[in-house]
């Protein structure tokens, strides 16, 4: 597994993007679903079905990603739907991050660091 010390500058930037902007497995799941969607624009209910997450969790994740301008809420035919931003700089980062996730070592590094960051401070880790 790659460590922060052995990562390229691009990998470090992408890990920082994951930990700082994506920051949770929920938002990572939502981003992946929107990115992989052939429709390109999905309702909250469609995201819920594809992530198998609760409506409350998905709504919170969509709001957070929208606030960070990673996704855009679009009102169409009385329904709010979501798509990934078209902002070129952010879109390049998102594309690079999700492409890097195809690399097992990169993905494991992000997962490990994200798990550490989600742990409450002072929480004991069970070892077996």
Task: Domains for the chain: give ranges and CATH numbers.
Answer: 9-115 (1.10.10.10)
For 14-47, what is each residue's pLDDT tens digit?
Answer: 999 999 999 999 999 999 999 999 888 999 999 9
For 63-88, what is each residue's pLDDT tens digit?
Answer: 999 999 999 999 988 999 999 999 99
Coil, strand, or helix at residue 86?
A: coil
pTM (predicted TM-score): 0.85
H-helix or E-strand spanning residue 108? helix 104-118
Under 8 Å CB-to-CB from 76, ≥6 apart: which residues? 41
């Amino acid at each position: 597994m790659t460590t922060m010390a052995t990562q390229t500058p691009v990998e470090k930037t992408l890990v920082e993007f994951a930990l700082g902007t994506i920051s949770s497995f929920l938002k990572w799941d939502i981003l992946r679903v929107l990115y992989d969607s052939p429709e390109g624009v999905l309702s909250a209910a469609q995201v819920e079905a594809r992530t198998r997450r609760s409506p409350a969790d998905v709504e919170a994740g969509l709001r957070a990603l929208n606030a960070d301008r990673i996704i855009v809420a679009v009102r169409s035919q009385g329904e709010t739907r979501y798509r990934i931003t078209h902002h070129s700089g952010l879109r390049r980062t998102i594309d690079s991050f999700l492409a890097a996730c195809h690399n097992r070592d990169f993905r494991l590094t992000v997962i490990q660091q994200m798990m550490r960051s989600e742990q409450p401070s002072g929480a004991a880790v069970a070892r077996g």
